[in-house]
């Protein structure tokens, strides 16, 4: 367990729609963008405070110490044999060494780590993530440390090696780097399939001598004096976290362990600690406990300072959770809180660009004129990104988003993107709504993606709904699959 886990018709040639096409847009890791090797200073807590191209300053700096170990990766583990290989493989060539502090694995995790060349220290678990991380740091000897978990992957897309970049930085007052972490979630309504991405940022790269971990459950690195770190960002540096996408049941068990740990340790945060409440809310969200997540987010919004980054992040998360629950009016309320104070809060953006986010909320809320105005300002890439997010919200909200996009976006590529998302969303709607999207898909030669057929084959749906979907497919679209399914289901139900 990682640290996070504890707790038939014409075909249109080359424009063929693929049912997985929307998935990449929804869950794909965003482009690291230009400027690899630049660094953006950030305020404590992670909000950026402007951009500074440090390479322009360090280009002529001394590179003495070349050959000296500069960066090590550090992990704490417990029974991660099934996952740790992927993590350690992603680090190869990027770090000078790897330290694994194991807290009592019984599944061969230490041996699996040693087989990759990592240094393994077989330690112990005393109930505190912070103390375990601090003990693990004691075995690191490099100037810089990358903190990563066994169910994560490391990504570096800079122009030069990360270790060379850190070496050229020298002692310039930058002690910590905040890293975007792409959390791969489970697909909506699925116990195992990977779905959308939830991105947050956290300090994961820091100078070893400048940091001390604090917090038994939701640990964080602080300065030696206990003050928040003055963190920076390095474009091209990201981490992908897969722990929430193992399976829904496994994720639920992990979340329950976290919550039980809070109760047993008495560490349930006070209402005056909105940052920790936000972390707990996001844990509920990530494992699919949406009602609990929304309850926690309401508490965060009640406790957070008006105009603060925590309030903005909580409101943004609440919008997304409300849309997953198909409550567009409630999402609109949270969106109003989130949008207060823009553009000053634009520097806090996580995940989707603000115009895309606004368009999704406006469409799902049924605001026809507002969505039309927002659509005019959306570049094509952002239009494609917006329709891909239909996979990340509740089916009724997704249908409103896609239907409005169909009315507003008339470009060929945009229409195909809408249909790609609809092919996966419409099977969760009622049969008449699914029939609307089936007609559009068939007009593009994509009868194999018919959502009515998918509904009829869905054993989790009531038999009456499955028969209705099969009959519409057979009678309206003359689909032989529909006739076969209707006959089969009729026999199963009996007279």
Quick check: is 474 in a domain? no
- Chain CA centroid to CA 113, Å: 27
Bigger pLDDT: 17 vs 219: 219
Give yes or no for a contact between 45 and 305, defined as CB atoms under 8 angstroms apart.
Answer: no
> Who contacts 233 (Cβ-Cβ below 8 Å, separation ≥6)?
39, 40, 42, 48, 177, 178, 179, 201
Average pLDDT over residues 136-155: 95
* Helix or strand (DSSP H, E) at 296: helix 290-303
Q: What is the pLDDT of residue 93?
A: 93
Measure the CA–CA gap between 281 and 258, rounded to whole angstroms: 12
Residue 403 CB neighbours (<10 A): 16
CA atoms within 13 A on the CB side of 180: 25
Only one residue has tokens 């640990």, namely 219
Measure the CA–CA gap between 340 and 347, rounded to whole angstroms: 14
pLDDT-derived band of residue 204, with 50, 70 and 90 as boundaries? very high
pLDDT-derived band of residue 31, with 50, 70 and 90 as boundaries? very low
Quick check: is 136 in a domain? yes
Give yes or no for a contact between 113 and 203, defined as CB atoms under 8 angstroms apart.
Answer: no
Q: What is the pLDDT of residue 5?
A: 37
Instruction: Say if residue 487's pLDDT is above 80.
Output: yes
Burial of 476 (0-12, 13-18, 19+ CB in 10 A): middle
Quick check: is 431 in a domain? no
Tokens read off for 172 = 């310039």
- C-alpha distances (whole Å) from 39 to each of 177, 179, 376 are 9, 12, 33
Q: What is the pLDDT of residue 36?
A: 31
Quick check: is 283 in a domain? no
Q: What is the pLDDT of residues 42-57, one digit of tens each?
A: 333 333 333 233 333 3
User: Going by DSSP bridges, is the β-strand pair 237-241/71-77 parallel, antiparallel, or unpaired?
Assistant: unpaired
Tokens read off for 234 = 């390095």
Measure the CA–CA gap between 315 and 306, rounded to whole angstroms: 11
Identify each DSSP E strand in 60-157 by its residue range. 71-77, 97-102, 119-122, 144-147, 152-156
Tokens read off for 107 = 């599944």
Bigger pLDDT: 163 vs 42: 163
pLDDT-derived band of residue 125, with 50, 70 and 90 as boundaries? confident
Range of the domain at 91: 31-246
Residue 246 CB neighbours (<10 A): 18
Quick check: is 299 in a domain? no
Burial of 273 (0-12, 13-18, 19+ CB in 10 A): middle
Q: What is the pLDDT of residue 59?
A: 37
Quick check: is 456 in a domain? no
| Bond preceding residue 343 cis, omega within 30 of 0 | yes
Bigger pLDDT: 354 vs 144: 144
Measure the CA–CA gap between 329 and 35, rounded to whole angstroms: 39
CA atoms within 13 A on the CB side of 358: 20
- C-alpha distances (whole Å) from 354 to each of 138, 177, 441, 462 are 42, 24, 30, 39
pLDDT-derived band of residue 4, with 50, 70 and 90 as boundaries? very low
Measure the CA–CA gap between 149 and 314, rounded to whole angstroms: 25
Q: What is the pLDDT of residues 276-301, one digit of tens each?
A: 888 888 777 766 788 989 999 999 99
Average pLDDT over residues 197-221: 84
Bigger pLDDT: 364 vs 26: 364
Q: If we measure between CA atoms, which residue out of 359, 437, 357 comes closest to residue 395?
A: 437
Looking only at Cα atoms, what is the longest distance across the chain? 85
Q: What is the pLDDT of residues 56-113, one digit of tens each?
A: 333 333 333 445 689 999 999 988 998 899 999 999 999 999 999 999 888 999 999 9
Specify the range with the lowest mean pLDDT, choosing from 3-7, 93-97, 138-142, 246-250.
3-7
Does residue 398 sit in helix, strand or coil? helix
CA atoms within 13 A on the CB side of 288: 24
Bigger pLDDT: 231 vs 138: 138
- What length does the chain have? 495
Q: What is the pLDDT of residue 265?
A: 47
Q: What is the pLDDT of residue 189?
A: 52
Measure the CA–CA gap between 52 and 106, rounded to whole angstroms: 47
Q: What is the pLDDT of residue 56?
A: 32
Instruction: Say if residue 23's pLDDT is above 70.
Output: no
Quick check: is 124 in a domain? yes
pLDDT-derived band of residue 469, with 50, 70 and 90 as boundaries? very high
Residue 117 CB neighbours (<10 A): 10
Average pLDDT over residues 193-208: 79
Give yes or no for a contact between 144 and 71, defined as CB atoms under 8 angstroms apart.
Answer: yes
- C-alpha distances (whole Å) from 410 to each of 365, 384, 426 are 21, 12, 20
Average pLDDT over residues 342-359: 64
Average pLDDT over residues 107-121: 94
Bigger pLDDT: 28 vs 67: 67
Q: What is the pLDDT of residue 12?
A: 32
Mean pLDDT, the chain, as a whole number? 78
Q: What is the pLDDT of residues 392-435, one digit of tens each?
A: 788 999 999 999 999 999 999 999 989 988 988 899 899 999 99
| CATH code, 196 | 3.90.550
Tokens read off for 275 = 């940052």
Percent of the chain at pLDDT > 70 equals 73
Average pLDDT over residues 354-375: 86
Q: What is the pLDDT of residues 304-341, one digit of tens each?
A: 888 888 888 888 889 889 998 999 889 888 988 887 75
Domain count, the chain: 1
Instruction: Say if residue 472's pLDDT is above 60.
Output: yes
Quick check: is 417 in a domain? no
pLDDT-derived band of residue 7, with 50, 70 and 90 as boundaries? very low
Q: What is the pLDDT of residue 256?
A: 58
Angle between helices 354-364 and 380-388 (to 10 degrees): 50
Bigger pLDDT: 79 vs 248: 79
């Amino acid at each position: 367990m990682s640290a996070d886990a504890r707790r038939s018709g014409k075909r249109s040639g080359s424009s063929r729609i693929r049912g997985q096409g929307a998935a990449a847009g929804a869950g794909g890791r965003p482009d690291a963008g230009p400027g690899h090797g630049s660094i953006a200073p950030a305020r404590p807590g992670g909000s950026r405070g402007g951009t500074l191209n440090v390479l322009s300053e360090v280009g002529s700096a001394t590179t003495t110490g070349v050959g000296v170990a500069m960066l090590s990766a550090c992990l704490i583990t417990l029974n991660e044999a099934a996952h740790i290989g992927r993590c350690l493989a992603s680090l190869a060539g990027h770090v000078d060494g790897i330290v694994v502090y194991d807290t009592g694995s019984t599944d061969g995790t230490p041996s699996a780590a040693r087989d990759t060349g990592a240094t393994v220290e077989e330690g112990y678990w005393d109930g505190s993530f912070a103390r375990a991380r601090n003990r693990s740091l004691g075995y690191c000897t490099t100037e810089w440390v990358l903190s990563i978990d066994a169910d994560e992957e490391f990504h570096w897309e800079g122009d030069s090696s990360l270790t060379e970049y850190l070496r050229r930085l020298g002692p310039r007052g930058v002690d910590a780097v905040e890293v975007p972490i792409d959390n791969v979630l489970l697909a909506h309504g699925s116990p195992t399939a990977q779905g959308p991405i939830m991105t947050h940022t956290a300090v994961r790269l820091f100078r070893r001598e400048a940091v001390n971990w604090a917090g038994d459950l939701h640990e964080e690195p602080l300065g030696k004096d206990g003050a928040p770190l003055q963190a920076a960002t390095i474009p091209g540096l990201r981490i992908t976290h897969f722990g929430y996408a193992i399976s829904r049941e496994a994720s639920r068990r992990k979340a329950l362990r976290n919550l039980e740990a809070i109760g047993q340790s008495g560490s349930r945060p006070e209402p005056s600690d909105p940052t920790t409440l936000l972390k707990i809310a996001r844990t509920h969200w990530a494992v699919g406990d949406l009602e609990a997540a929304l309850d926690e987010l309401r508490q965060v919004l009640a406790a957070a300072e008006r105009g603060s980054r925590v309030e903005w992040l909580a409101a943004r998360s609440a919008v997304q959770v409300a849309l997953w629950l198909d409550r567009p009016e409630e999402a609109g309320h949270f969106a109003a809180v989130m949008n207060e104070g823009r553009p000053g809060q634009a520097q806090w953006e996580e995940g989707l660009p603000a115009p895309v986010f606004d368009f999704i909320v406006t469409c799902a809320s049924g605001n026809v004129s507002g969505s039309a105005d927002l659509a005019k300002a959306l570049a094509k890439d952002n239009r494609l990104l917006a329709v891909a997010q239909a996979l990340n919200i509740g089916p009724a909200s997704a249908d409103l988003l896609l239907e409005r996009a169909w009315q507003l976006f008339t470009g060929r590529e945009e229409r195909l993107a809408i249909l790609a998302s609809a092919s996966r969303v419409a099977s969760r709607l009622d049969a008449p709504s699914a029939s609307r999207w089936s007609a559009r898909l068939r007009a593009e030669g994509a009868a194999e993606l018919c959502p009515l057929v998918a509904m009829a084959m869905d054993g989790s749906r009531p038999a009456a709904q499955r028969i209705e979907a099969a009959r519409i497919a057979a009678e309206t679209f003359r689909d032989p699959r529909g006739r076969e399914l209707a006959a089969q289901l009729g026999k199963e139900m009996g007279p």
